[in-house]
Amino acid sequence: MENWNVLWENLKNFFLNEIAANYIALILQFLLLAIVYFYIFKVLKGNKATKFIPVVVFFVIFCGITFAFTKFDTYLLLLIVIMIALLIFTMFHSEIKRQLLDSNSKHSKDGLTVSGVQLIIDETIRAVQNMSKKDIGALIVLSNENLPEGIIQSGTVVNASITSQMIEAVFFPKAPLHDGAMIIEGNKIYAAGCFLPVLQSENLPKDMGSRHRAALGITAVASVTAIVVSEETGIISIVKNGAIKKRYADASDLKNALSEYYWSDLTAEGKRI
């Protein structure tokens, strides 16, 4: 009973005295905590790590009860919350980067028709398979305008229509842009010759070179799909979420990856394949 009396007195003191005297600071703290936890829960849910949500909720409730029953310093409470946020960031820093980049993405695929998308998919598959047969190295990134601006600036803005001839011309061995990555956004080849962050790992097979490392690196920090053609073997790989999802990809695998990219945001009736 005594604890309930203490709780009641603390609540009265909090609402009648502390809020009135420090309402601006309390509002700012509340907004800060709301933003922090919103992004924490969004990242956890988006990366299928919802099992950590009860842990975070437990700490919030624990800190709230501690504050209610004792004269707990609000700044210390805020420090604990920030430490929890830093712990989450340390565990999921790549996922957090991906979520932040996605928040700036735009609907670059708006306005595409079924026939237009099908033509783009066919042209892209034709180009990739042709380069594979000729052992021409290539790295194509399917982006939703969610790549860091520095990556685009490292290459050349092309803003060209997607055709098999254009794709193969960019990656022709003597072409000036063939060593970098091609960035596709919607129905355009937006940029080419772009340099991507490279994954530093000793566990990759020897036949996977810099293009595979770049594909793994960019897909680890951004929600994009990368298509890689090996210059040494002609093997086609599909990379997503920092991992090689399909090696020795054929036309069917390429069509699935491209279809997922083009149709993931087009949910209106009559726009699906």
As a whole number of angstroms, the distance between CA 130 and CA 171 comes to: 11
Domain ranges of the chain: 2-91, 114-263
> 13 pLDDT band (50/70/90 cuts)?
low
- Measuring CA to CA, how many Å separate 215 from each of 12, 118, 131, 225? 58, 25, 17, 8
pTM: 0.61
- Of 39, 35, 33, nearest to 59 by C-alpha is 33
Bridge partners for 154 per DSSP: none
User: What average pLDDT does range 143-147 have in this prediction?
Assistant: 82
Tens digits of residue pLDDT in 232-244: 999 999 999 888 9
Taking 50 as the threshold, does the pLDDT of residue 23 lie above it? yes
Q: What is the pLDDT of residue 68?
A: 56
pLDDT value of residue 8: 67
Per-residue pLDDT, averaged over 157-174, amounts to 94
> Across the chain, what does the average pLDDT equal?
77
Angle at 232 between CA 230 and CA 237, to 5 degrees: 20
- The band of 197, judged by pLDDT with boundaries at 50, 70 and 90, is confident
Whole-number pLDDT of residue 268: 34
Helices and strands (H, E) in the chain, number of each type: 10, 7
Distances (CA, A) of 9 to 2, 5, 211: 11, 6, 65
Confidence of residue 128 (pLDDT cuts 50, 70, 90): very high
CATH topology of domain 114-263: YojJ-like (1 (3.40.1700)
Top-confidence range, 101-110, 170-179, 195-204: 170-179
pLDDT, tens digit, 9 for 90 and up, residues 50-84? 666 777 777 767 766 666 555 555 555 666 666 66
Residues 6+ apart with CB under 8 A from 233: 135, 207
pLDDT, mean of residues 94-118: 61
Res 254: pLDDT: 96
263 or 120, greater pLDDT: 120
Residue ranges of alpha helices (H) inside 104-179 are 114-133, 149-153, 164-170
